[in-house]
Amino acid sequence: MAVKIVTILGSTGSVGTQTLDILAENLDRYHVRALVGGRNIALLAEQARLFRPELTVVAEESLLEDLRAALAGSNLACASGRAAVIEAAAMPVDWTMSAITGVIGLEPTLAAVRHGGTIAFANKEALVSAGDVFLRAVSEHGATLLPVDSEHNAVMQAMADNNLHAVEKIVLTASGGPFRKLSYEEMRAITPEAALRHPVWSMGAKISIDSATMMNKGLEVIEAARLFSLTSEQIEVVVHPQSVIHGLAYYTDGSVLAQLGAPDMRIPIAHSLAWPQRLATKAPRLNLAEVAKLEFFPPDEECFPALRVAREALLAGAGAPTVLNAANEVAVAAFLARKIGFLDIVSIVESVLTQLGAPPVLDLAAVLALDNAARDAATRLTAAKAA
């Protein structure tokens, strides 16, 4: 197996660190060309010293001196700021992990797409927000998108027999989040601390809150529609608290293929890293007799309106998913900052969608402009709630 040259966008986040954990066990097979990290300079420097990339970048402009200091004596090149992030992403590699959360990851991911390699895709916001613009770039540059989201990675694995035209529908499973058993009224008092405690998955803050509102599943329905060219009706969501079956593909002959596994992100990351081959990992192995019971429920769309709102945005098309995603990013941040309540998150998203509708977004500039407009609208609504 030839050595694969890789870049990690978002190396200090949850997916980024788990990606590097796998790479650390396979140093003979992978070479890291660039690392792009967040605010955790100590961790980013430690990663750089271990993997010795050609370029280490911190997104935050003001942290360059800290990074330089942390890399003192290592003889490693570093840079900071938005332009440097995009420059790092644009360095040709075989494989890029796109794991910068939120629309902020869109431009770096597009820079990676333009060199036509394989993009392991953990940034669903970019695909939801930029939709057609993003997929057009992927197709123009001959890049390969591999989903890292456990559900989409599962569906991709369930489609490995290459009979895509024979797929009737797919199912994305949802753990149901920490508040599966609460009534709508009981959700009013949910705190950020409670919402961050996901019962099954260990994840970043944004996605943990999205799981708690089930907006995460809504974004995933839109992501799946893009990735697999399916309609909203072909993408079912089933609540499955044990999170053992991650995704399923239903075929016209009655067969259903599924990917299962322990809820450990190293599994889909390793799949996307080695694809189309496989890599050994130390991830825990599924023991069915120990799990003993797998349960499935229809999602409760009254308690979790996010799923309905996201499907409406998908059906509206054009810029509606851009608006949905931007408003949600603002609302989640406001909830984490204790400016709004838990139930306000989705109600703000729905209000912004009503305000802005589904204007056309034909290029990246239009996407970013609409994203900004939605953020402004969401920020105003947030301030009104907080007042």
Binding segment toward a copy of itself, per CB under 8 A, in 54-62, 101-109, 154-162, 328-336: 154-162
> Should residue 14 be labelled a site residue for a copy of itself when binding is judged by CB under 8 A?
no
By beta-carbon proximity to a copy of itself, the closer residue of 196 and 256 is 256
> Should residue 19 be labelled a site residue for a copy of itself when binding is judged by CB under 8 A?
no
By beta-carbon proximity to a copy of itself, the closer residue of 34 and 307 is 307
Distance between CA atoms of residues 246 and 217, nearest Å: 12
3-state secondary structure of 358: coil
CB of 312 to a copy of itself, least distance (A): 22
End-to-end, the C-alpha distance of the chain in Å comes to 60
Rounded to 5 degrees, φ, ψ at 231 are -85, 165
Q: Which of 65, 140, 161, 363 binds a copy of itself (CB under 8 A)?
A: 161
Cα dihedral sign, 196-202-206-211: negative
> Should residue 296 be labelled a site residue for a copy of itself when binding is judged by CB under 8 A?
yes
For 218, 229, 328, the CA distances from 236, given in Å and listed in that order, are: 11, 14, 22
Q: Which of 160, 337, 362, 386 binds a copy of itself (CB under 8 A)?
A: 160
> Should residue 1 be labelled a site residue for a copy of itself when binding is judged by CB under 8 A?
no
The count of residues interacting with a copy of itself (CB under 8 A) is 53
User: Which tokens go with 27?
Assistant: 């140093």
> Should residue 291 be labelled a site residue for a copy of itself when binding is judged by CB under 8 A?
yes
Distance between CA atoms of residues 327 and 1, nearest Å: 44
> Should residue 233 be labelled a site residue for a copy of itself when binding is judged by CB under 8 A?
no
Half-sphere exposure of 367 (CA within 13 A, CB side): 22
> Should residue 144 be labelled a site residue for a copy of itself when binding is judged by CB under 8 A?
no
By beta-carbon proximity to a copy of itself, the closer residue of 198 and 240 is 240
Residue with tokens 């996010």: 306
Rounded to 5 degrees, φ, ψ at 319 are -90, 5
Task: Kindly state the greatest CA–CA separation across the chain.
Answer: 62
> Should residue 39 be labelled a site residue for a copy of itself when binding is judged by CB under 8 A?
no
DSSP tag of 283: P
Binding segment toward a copy of itself, per CB under 8 A, in 51-59, 91-99, 282-290, 357-365: 282-290
By beta-carbon proximity to a copy of itself, the closer residue of 284 and 360 is 284
> Should residue 172 be labelled a site residue for a copy of itself when binding is judged by CB under 8 A?
no
**Contact assessment for residue 88 and residue 7, using Cβ atoms and an 8 Å cutoff:** yes
> Should residue 286 be labelled a site residue for a copy of itself when binding is judged by CB under 8 A?
yes
3-state secondary structure of 297: strand
> Should residue 181 be labelled a site residue for a copy of itself when binding is judged by CB under 8 A?
no
Rounded to 5 degrees, φ, ψ at 43 are -70, -45
By beta-carbon proximity to a copy of itself, the closer residue of 223 and 264 is 264
User: Which tokens go with 111?
Assistant: 């820079």
Which residues in 248-277 contact a copy of itself (CB under 8 A)? 248, 250-262, 264, 266-268, 270-271, 274, 276-277
**Contact assessment for residue 176 and residue 241, using Cβ atoms and an 8 Å cutoff:** yes
> Should residue 200 be labelled a site residue for a copy of itself when binding is judged by CB under 8 A?
no
Q: Which residues bind a copy of itself (CB under 8 A)?
A: 157-158, 160-163, 166, 168, 171, 238, 240, 245, 248, 250-262, 264, 266-268, 270-271, 274, 276-281, 283-286, 288-289, 291-298
